[in-house]
Structure 1
Amino acid sequence: MNRSAGKRAGVAVTAMALSLGVAGCQDGTGKASDAPKTQSPGDVTKVIQAAYEKTSAAKAAKVRMTMSMSGAGADSGTAELTGVQGWDPAVMDITMKGSMLSGAAASGAPEQMRMVMLDNVMYMDMGVKQAAEMDGKRWMKLDLKAAADASGDKALQKQLTGGLDSMNQDPAQQLALLLDSPNLKHVGAEKINGMETQHYKGTLTFEQMLQANNTSKALSKEDYDTLIANVKKAGLKGYDTEVWVNEDGYPARMDIGMTMAEGTMQIRADYTDYGTQAAVQAPPAKDTLDLFEMLKGLGKA
Structure 2
Amino acid sequence: MESAVRGPVRRRAMGAGLAAVLLAGGAVACQKDDKAGQSPAMTPAAAVAKAAKNTEDITSLRYRMTGKVPGEGQVSGEAAMSMKPLAMSMKMTVKGQATDGPVEIRLVDKAMYIGGNADMAKEMDGKTWIKFDMSALGADKEMNADQLGAGQADKNPASESTFLTGSKDVKKVGTETVGGVKTTHYKGTVTVADLKASLKDESKTVREQREKSLQQYEKMGIDSMTMDMWIDGDDHTKQFRMRGEADKGPMDMTILFLDYNKPVTVTAPPAKDTADLAEMMKQAQSG
User: How far apart are 1:11 and its partner, in Å?
Assistant: 1.8
Q: Which residue number corresponds to residue 92 of structure 1?
A: 88
* Paired residues of 2:2 and 2:284 also in contact (CA < 8 A): no
TM-score relative to the length of structure 2? 0.75
Query: Which secondary structure does the structure 1 equivalent of 2:158 belong to?
Result: helix
- Structure having the higher helix fraction is 1
* Paired residues of 1:94 and 1:116 also in contact (CA < 8 A): yes
Q: Which residue number corresponds to residue 222 of structure 1?
A: none
Relative to structure 1, the CA distance from residue 23 to residue 285 in structure 2 (aligned partners, 3 Å threshold; closer, same or farther) is closer
Q: Which residue number corresponds to residue 13 of structure 1?
A: 14
User: How far apart are 1:171 and its partner, in Å?
Assistant: 5.4
Q: Which residue number corresponds to residue 111 of structure 1?
A: 101
Q: Which residue number corresponds to residue 284 of structure 1?
A: 270
Relative to structure 1, the CA distance from residue 84 to residue 270 in structure 2 (aligned partners, 3 Å threshold; closer, same or farther) is same
1:264 to 2:250 alignment? yes
Q: Which residue number corresponds to residue 224 of structure 1?
A: none
Q: Which residue number corresponds to residue 205 of structure 1?
A: 191
Unaligned runs of 5+ in 1: 25-33, 219-226
Relative to structure 1, the CA distance from residue 261 to residue 292 in structure 2 (aligned partners, 3 Å threshold; closer, same or farther) is closer
Q: CA RMSD in A?
A: 3.7
* Paired residues of 1:23 and 1:254 also in contact (CA < 8 A): no
Q: Which residue number corresponds to residue 61 of structure 1?
A: 61
User: How far apart are 1:124 and its partner, in Å?
Assistant: 1.1
* Paired residues of 1:64 and 1:269 also in contact (CA < 8 A): yes
Q: Which residue number corresponds to residue 253 of structure 1?
A: 239
Which of 253, 256, 259 lines up with 1:273 in the alignment?
259
Relative to structure 1, the CA distance from residue 175 to residue 268 in structure 2 (aligned partners, 3 Å threshold; closer, same or farther) is closer
User: How far apart are 1:39 and its partner, in Å?
Assistant: 6.0
Q: Which residue number corresponds to residue 48 of structure 1?
A: 48
Give a deviation string over 1:181-234, Cα, whole Å, max 9, x none.
Answer: 22233222111111100112222223467883438889xxxxxxxx78x93xxx
Give a deviation string over 1:237-268, Cα, whole Å, max 9, x none.
Answer: 31112211112322111111112576312111
Relative to structure 1, the CA distance from residue 20 to residue 77 in structure 2 (aligned partners, 3 Å threshold; closer, same or farther) is same
Give a deviation string over 1:124-144, Cα, whole Å, max 9, x none.
Answer: 124245325423321110123
* Paired residues of 1:9 and 1:124 also in contact (CA < 8 A): no
* Paired residues of 1:91 and 1:168 also in contact (CA < 8 A): no
Unaligned runs of 5+ in 2: 26-34, 197-207
Q: Which residue number corresponds to residue 31 of structure 1?
A: none
